[in-house]
Amino acid sequence: MLGAIEAGGTKFVCAVGDETGNIVEQTQFPTTVPNETIPQVMEFFKKYQLDAIGIGSFGPIDVNRDSLTYGYITSTPKTAWKNYPFVQALKEAFDVPVGFNTDVNAAALGEAALGAAKGLDSCLYITVGTGIGAGAVVQGKLLQGLSHPEMGHILVRRHPDDQYQGKCPYHHDCLEGLAAGPAIEERWGEKGVNLAERAEVWDLEGYYLAQALMQYMLILSPKKIILGGGVMHQEQVFTAIRKYLPELVNDYIALPELSDYIVSPGLGDKAGITGSLLLAHQARQEEIR
């Protein structure tokens, strides 16, 4: 039996299941502070005899296994979680192998193995919600270098009519600062769910996301781009992206059929928790070897 944690900035999702994505039980609770949230995680898992646990976490996190702070949540804006030893806490409680990566990398892994990119050796998964993050599978492996990707904080060109200053506390008007859910709410004065009929809201959103996708395509050349998160429940954003992207690329590279290339998650809202089960499976396999 495998345990999985999708640790988001708003909520924790915990599940037990197997590497095929079969989930036996799942629960969720709000992300508050470690001494409230982690005991709920422990309580859920202690009913099961686990072989390994996979964690897909909000970040930034330390994924360098040679680092003294491997397994930590690091410079997160959620101050109560800053420098929290996530992996160590789970290992102490359950004494099993623990796989650890970002929540978006976990979702990318899930989509590559069992979702919209099944059968492909590369894909890009982007979540657009409370924040913007992305995970990439390249040649069958999660992309990792000095650290994990932080694609939500790239710089984009501001729309000439957009006077909004940006929401990111680090960069103000980076992609996340201009296009994540809180930026939409602050710019337009209402939550996105209440703005569904205002076409200009989603056209602007597509304008910024199309710029980001062009950069990701030119650098990573993924075989599928998958867009998830609460903002992408507004289907008109896909329409705007598919309108702006060819204009930006301007025939520099050949684009695939965008309706098949830029898609919603094949696993729906289960991409992250499924990927976390796969992280647990990988951790178990590494332990066996």
Q: Map 69-85 to HEC letters.
A: CCCEECCCCCHHHCCEE
* H helical segments located in the chain: 34-45, 86-94, 103-114, 175-179, 181-188, 199-220, 236-249, 258-261, 271-288
* Residue 6, H or E segment: strand 2-7
Q: Are residues 122 and 96 in the same domain?
A: no
Is 109 part of any domain?
no
The 8-class DSSP code of residue 61 comes to B
Q: Exposure pattern of 57-87 as b/e (b: 16+ CB <10 Å)?
A: bbbbbbbeeeeeeebbbeebeeeebeebbbb
Q: Are residues 218 and 283 in the same domain?
A: no
Is 168 part of any domain?
yes
Q: Are residues 78 and 184 in the same domain?
A: no
DSSP-assigned states of every residue in 106-132: HHHHHHHHHSTTTT-S-EEEEEESSSE
- Type of residue at 138: V
pLDDT of residue 149: 83
- Type of residue at 262: I
Query: Would you give the distance in Å from CA 63 to the centre of its chain?
Result: 15
Q: Are residues 127 and 254 in the same domain?
A: yes
Query: Would you give the distance in Å from CA 229 to the centre of its chain?
Result: 8
Rounded to whole angstroms, the Cα distance separating 186 from 190 reads: 7
Is 55 part of any domain?
yes
Neighbours of 22 (CB within 10 A): 11
**pTM exceeds 0.85:** yes
Is 108 part of any domain?
no
Is 110 part of any domain?
no
In terms of Cα–Cα distance, which of 172, 243, 170 is closest to 213? 243
Say how many Å lie between the first and final Cα of the chain, rounded: 18
CATH number at residue 179: 3.30.420.40
Q: Are residues 187 and 258 in the same domain?
A: yes
Which residues have CB under 8 Å from 9's CB, separation 6+? 31, 58, 78, 130, 131
Question: Residue 150, SS3?
Answer: coil
Q: Are residues 133 and 226 in the same domain?
A: yes
pLDDT of residue 289: 58
pLDDT in tens, the chain (289 residues): 999 999 998 899 999 999 999 999 999 999 999 999 999 999 999 999 999 999 999 989 999 999 999 999 998 878 899 999 999 999 999 999 999 999 999 999 999 999 999 999 999 999 999 899 999 999 999 998 777 888 999 999 999 999 999 999 889 999 999 999 999 999 999 999 999 999 999 999 999 999 999 999 999 999 999 999 999 999 999 999 999 999 999 999 999 999 999 999 999 999 999 999 999 999 999 987 5
pLDDT of residue 148: 84
Q: Are residues 165 and 223 in the same domain?
A: yes
Q: Are residues 97 and 147 in the same domain?
A: no
Is 111 part of any domain?
no
In terms of Cα–Cα distance, which of 133, 134, 179, 131 is closest to 156? 179
* Residue 138, H or E segment: strand 132-138
Q: Exposure pattern of 239-277 as b/e (b: 16+ CB <10 Å)?
A: ebbbebbeeebeeeeeeeebeebbbbbbbeebbbbbbbb
According to DSSP, the residues that pair with 125 across neighbouring strands are 135, 226
Residues of the domain holding 178:
116-264
Is 191 part of any domain?
yes
Calculate the alpha carbon distances from 162 to 151, 159, 206, 207 in Å.
22, 5, 13, 11
Domain count, the chain: 2
User: Exposed, middle or buried: residue 148 (CB in 10 Å: 0-12, 13-18, 19+)?
Assistant: buried
Q: Are residues 184 and 91 in the same domain?
A: no
Q: Are residues 167 and 94 in the same domain?
A: no
